[in-house]
Structure 1
Amino acid sequence: MRNDHALDSIDRAIIAELSEDGRLSNTELARRVRLTPAPCLRRVQRLERAGVIRGYHAAIDPKSTGRGFEVIVSVDIAVNDGPTIEDFEAAVAELPEVVEVRRMFGQPDYFLRVLVADHEEYEALTLNKLTRLPALSRVVSHQTMRLAKGWPTAIP
């Protein structure tokens, strides 16, 4: 079911509703997608088993948790072989300030999404941790002015 061809219009409606509000009761979800509760629940469970619905998450305001300063960091590594990539990814995964890591085709090698309290904390992170990552050759920071469109923030 992982490809779009296996999803029908009701599955898509369920996904859209749960994307907007993952806390909908099954009864309310069924009403919105025009099903009775039992078949709606079966469809949701099937979507979960198939990995289409991977989980339910709370949208957290980063400022309220002391992590309102967001920086997107482009990173290049010096060597792109298997062990170096594994070492780099393992090291960056250990940094709680890094909430997202994307390996890219082409340049840069990675985009990191970093959430910290302020620019001082980001500077300390850069000097004390980011620049010490394995095989790092280049770091370019891009401060987010405003999130104009995007997914809710997940903060571990």
Structure 2
Amino acid sequence: MLDDQDRRLLRQLQADPSLTTAALAARAGVSAPVAARRLEKLKAAGILRGVHRVIDWRALGYAVEVSLRITLDKTDPGAFDAFTAAARKVPEVTEIQTFLGRVDVRLSVIARDMAHWQQIYRARILALPHIAEIEALMRIATIKTDPGLPI
């Protein structure tokens, strides 16, 4: 599906998403028109879905991240949809993931400090519908974060 030119463009784009098409082309060893055409082709194929800026929430004063593993009460057929709709409305929830198995949903939640976390947990998390079981894991350190792919 991808040839060498596509891979070179994607590697350079992963390394620095802020590059202009001309700079990206130069680093990938292709002409700017070729780079532009190939990037459009990658977008049309759904491989490139956009360029994003990443905000460092720690730099904004959020020092606590908690991962919540949640098992839902499955006696209500609408439990999953009701839960996820409500969880999306909690501003401190940065990620919602679903799973097959004992754990149904994982939420990533950020807070400024432990007092703020306690407030979020009591007022917003415990108020979410259809929770049967909840387990909180507090992040201590990030060992590796690499959103890039081995292209």
Task: Report the TM-score when normalising by structure 1.
Answer: 0.86
Of residues 139, 143, 146 in structure 2, which corresponds to 1:148? 143
Residues 68-90 of structure 1 deviation map (CA, whole Å, 9 limit, x = unaligned): 31111111111176421111110
| Comparing 62-71 and 34-43, the one that deviates more | 62-71
Verify: 1:44 aligned to 2:36, yes or no. Answer: no
Unaligned runs of 5+ in 2: none
> Are residues 116 and 56 of structure 1, via their aligned partners in 2, closer, same or farther at CA, if it must alter by over 3 Å?
same
Letter in 2 for 1:74: R
5 Å-filtered alignment, 1:116-155, equals 116-151=111-146
More helix by share: 1
Verify: 1:83 aligned to 2:83, yes or no. Answer: no
Identity, in percent, stands at 27
Q: Matched residue pairs, number? A: 147
Of residues 92, 95, 99 in structure 2, which corresponds to 1:97? 92
Task: Report the TM-score when normalising by structure 2.
Answer: 0.89
Task: Give the whole-Å Cα distance in 2 for the aligned partners of 1:31 and 1:135.
Answer: 54
Task: Give the whole-Å Cα distance in 2 for the aligned partners of 1:67 and 1:92.
Answer: 19
RMSD of aligned C-alpha atoms? 1.6
Unaligned runs of 5+ in 1: 1-5
* 1:98 and 1:112 in contact (8 A); partners too: yes
Task: Give the whole-Å Cα distance in 2 for the aligned partners of 1:8 and 1:80.
Answer: 50
Letter in 2 for 1:69: V
Verify: 1:114 aligned to 2:91, yes or no. Answer: no
- How many angstroms does 1:67 deviate by? 2.0
* 1:71 and 1:141 in contact (8 A); partners too: yes
Of residues 59, 67, 72 in structure 2, which corresponds to 1:72? 67
Letter in 2 for 1:102: Q
Task: Give the whole-Å Cα distance in 1 for the aligned partners of 2:59 and 2:4.
Answer: 38
> Are residues 72 and 105 of structure 1, via their aligned partners in 2, closer, same or farther at CA, if it must alter by over 3 Å?
same
* 1:131 and 1:139 in contact (8 A); partners too: no
Of residues 16, 20, 25 in structure 1, which corresponds to 2:20? 25
Give the secondary-structure state (helix, strand or coil) at the position aligned to 2:5: helix
Task: Give the whole-Å Cα distance in 1 for the aligned partners of 2:85 and 2:75.
Answer: 14
Task: Give the whole-Å Cα distance in 1 for the aligned partners of 2:40 and 2:47.
Answer: 10
Give the secondary-structure state (helix, strand or coil) at the position aligned to 1:19: helix
